[in-house]
Structure 1
């Protein structure tokens, strides 16, 4: 649906035997509805002679008309025209899917300015400018006399003749005036790793942003949601961005761990401590599973007795890893029994028995087990958000120190073989987005 929203000026509806701006837009854009904002003077003209509605219906008989009649006299004062904005947003609320055509060529300069600003602010609005037949100012063109019958001016309108009518409408790209503001907000959002909000802002401003920017923001959003396949597909049309995908790492399990670690780093930088620690346990568990199965070449069924099963079987453990079995008996504060879920806690104890693991890493693994246990316990017994002081008091380490321990284990597990980059990809993506947004100005 197309709706024309317009103020009414002295050159409407017809002047100098040609369409005024309102009539010309109706002729060339064929809106389904026209909403006219009338000052007190224009209201009196319309009520006396249907001065504006009759010419519109002569051009488009099925056009629905709505007149906003006011008693505004000071049409040259912006403070008198606030209702123009209110009526516009009333239309937006009533017709959320409609394209709204804004006539920026009728009314006083103040009215035109308001309509131009609305075209900048609302992405579904289209500003339309109508040139005079003289391709210049209309100031020297005589006004129609109020005594001229409206039927006569309609009949004498040369724009009714196809051979005489030339499209004088243009669509100024006013929303590019908003570009700097949108670009600045986008940069602030991505620097805060707030990619969901960045995608929403970008999609609302698709008409002023390049497809490359839109795709990079979408990629960052998908990637930060751990939808790596979708994120990879989004960037597939940009060979230059292959560096962001790190093609040298093709092991899906390694990719999953790398992406998960970076999301944890995002949560750390955003100071979302609860979410950081919620992600800690599953990440550490998957990391040790990767090390045991990929590096040590030990299938997990040696702990569980069968594939795709996560319950420990003591008979399997006793047979396959007697030293580990004894360590469990010596360490656990409760009796051993079958059916315990395989977890980071149990896998960390297993690695304490392995000569392949350096002592420094064993110590770090033990530290992280302590962190996991104490923070999980603290979160379970308080409703207040965790503070840095809470974390330090509980485990004797800062958030950054804990993350450095996680990184140390991560890079030990994956090692040089997987060539995992140490710089977080999101900072590179953010830098590239900032460069693109600056280049588009």
Structure 2
């Protein structure tokens, strides 16, 4: 029906203030929004005023005539209502009335609620009703011309004269209406859940909930949630796009050739914090292979790409040792010495962490590094197959029993390996997810 309906308590400065000669809130909303129907809620005092001089209907009719339109009126009489300060009464009464009004509306209609007229209890009742969110409506607040509290003067009220003198009848009147964005309790609760998901690093769930909220509630932070979600997926293309959009840089390591290793390690630590031990264990091997390779190049000046063959299979690069390229090199000597002690021969094949460990042991003179490499490699060897090939519960106790190290110690050793890679990482970089969360929560608080 495309109707605009105004529900309005009638207050002390309605319809025209006799102290400032401007519209009261009820009349001003009608002037600005031009509703087709006005539902007037009147206490005993307001009914007495209406019966005395027809002031409310008179001004509404004159306004409709001025705007060349017709208005339907409904008066809700509460003649017995003298205790206008009782919030509980108005909340329940307004709820019943608005429920009835909604039964006559369709999805094309708009309901306006005047929260500037009436007693404080009436205004609060309407605001709380909207906050609960049962009945979608626009809350309209009207500022006074002086931007301060109106005085209520009823003695010698001359509605006809006041209408003629009303300054808001001028064509260039000031629109003093403001639509108050009042989030519903359901939406407030959703934002609290979003905060909990953010603090638990569950950005997927946080973003999904944000998608169900009105855009005006999430403008400040939804793109940051999208950034965080892409970050935890290691989707750097999307991360870069959201950094460009939000102008918020949350990745401490920004070189594309280095950040993937650091962000992967941060991702591992998130899994540890969430006690996702199976995923934590499974993520160890890919990272330590890369770290061993980088450390070998940085500390021992050995680039294994010089000693292997390459080809792409299914869109991925596969590398394997080339005996021809190894021939006569220091790397070949290390392999021969290692396998000779075990009465074996180095057969080449795909590149594994054990091969890189052998080279680091044979070429590095850093005893602490070699001990660190040995410990991390031992962890990988002892627990990798368990998580990868068996359906089994992996707990902190399982990890300690199989490796001799706690999960935190394993993560600490992996962090220490980065000190040998040449990648510039400050201690505080490891807190970058928490710093990103702080930024998200700060943006969420803008709406509060």
Tell me the matched-pair count. 410
Moved more, 100-109 or 15-24: 15-24
Per-residue CA deviations over 1:144-168 (Å, capped at 9, x if unaligned) read 99xxxxxx99x96876974288436
Q: Is the 1:7–1:106 contact (alpha carbons within 8 Å) kept by the matching residues of 2?
A: yes
Distance in 1 (alpha carbons) for counterparts of 2:285 and 2:86: 64
Distance in 1 (alpha carbons) for counterparts of 2:24 and 2:222: 39
Instruction: Give the 3 Å change call, closer, same or farther, for CA 111–407 of structure 1 in structure 2.
Output: same
Query: Counterparts in 2 of 1:128-143, with a 5 A limit?
Result: 128-131=141-144, 137=150, 139-141=152-154
Distance in 2 (alpha carbons) for counterparts of 1:289 and 1:37: 78
Per-residue CA deviations over 1:327-383 (Å, capped at 9, x if unaligned) read 6799899x9696x5x44x454455355413744434433433343344444445446
Distance in 1 (alpha carbons) for counterparts of 2:40 and 2:343: 80
Q: Is the 1:158–1:165 contact (alpha carbons within 8 Å) kept by the matching residues of 2?
A: no
Instruction: Give the 3 Å change call, closer, same or farther, for CA 82–395 of structure 1 in structure 2.
Output: farther
Q: Secondary structure at the match of 1:140?
A: coil
Note if 1:300 corresponds to 2:305. Answer: yes
- Counterpart of 2:10 in structure 1 is 9
- Counterpart of 1:28 in structure 2 is 32
TM-score normalised per structure 1: 0.62
- Counterpart of 1:312 in structure 2 is 320
Distance in 1 (alpha carbons) for counterparts of 2:294 and 2:200: 31
Query: Counterparts in 2 of 1:23-62, with a 5 A limit?
Result: 23-29=27-33
Q: Secondary structure at the match of 1:310?
A: strand
Distance in 1 (alpha carbons) for counterparts of 2:238 and 2:77: 53
Distance in 2 (alpha carbons) for counterparts of 1:97 and 1:406: 60
- Counterpart of 2:285 in structure 1 is 281
Instruction: Give the 3 Å change call, closer, same or farther, for CA 375–68 of structure 1 in structure 2.
Output: farther
RMSD (CA atoms):
6.2
Instruction: Give the 3 Å change call, closer, same or farther, for CA 252–130 of structure 1 in structure 2.
Output: closer
Q: Is the 1:186–1:201 contact (alpha carbons within 8 Å) kept by the matching residues of 2?
A: yes
Distance in 2 (alpha carbons) for counterparts of 1:104 and 1:220: 39
- Counterpart of 1:255 in structure 2 is 259
Note if 1:105 corresponds to 2:113. Answer: no
Gaps in structure 2 of 5+ consecutive residues = none
Which has the greater radius of gyration? 2
Q: 1:324 aligns with which of 321, 335, 346?
A: 335
Instruction: Give the 3 Å change call, closer, same or farther, for CA 232–18 of structure 1 in structure 2.
Output: same
Q: 1:171 aligns with which of 165, 175, 178?
A: 178
- Counterpart of 1:399 in structure 2 is 407
- Counterpart of 1:148 in structure 2 is none
Per-residue CA deviations over 1:211-246 (Å, capped at 9, x if unaligned) read 6x888777656544535566567667999x88x655
Note if 1:114 corresponds to 2:125. Answer: yes
Cα offset, 1:105, TM superposition: 1.4
Distance in 2 (alpha carbons) for counterparts of 1:297 and 1:327: 17
- Counterpart of 2:427 in structure 1 is 422
Gaps in structure 1 of 5+ consecutive residues = 146-151
Q: Is the 2:296–2:356 contact (alpha carbons within 8 Å) kept by the matching residues of 1?
A: no
Note if 1:368 corresponds to 2:369. Answer: no
TM-score normalised per structure 2: 0.61
Distance in 2 (alpha carbons) for counterparts of 1:332 and 1:98: 87
Cα offset, 1:406, TM superposition: 0.8
- Counterpart of 1:149 in structure 2 is none
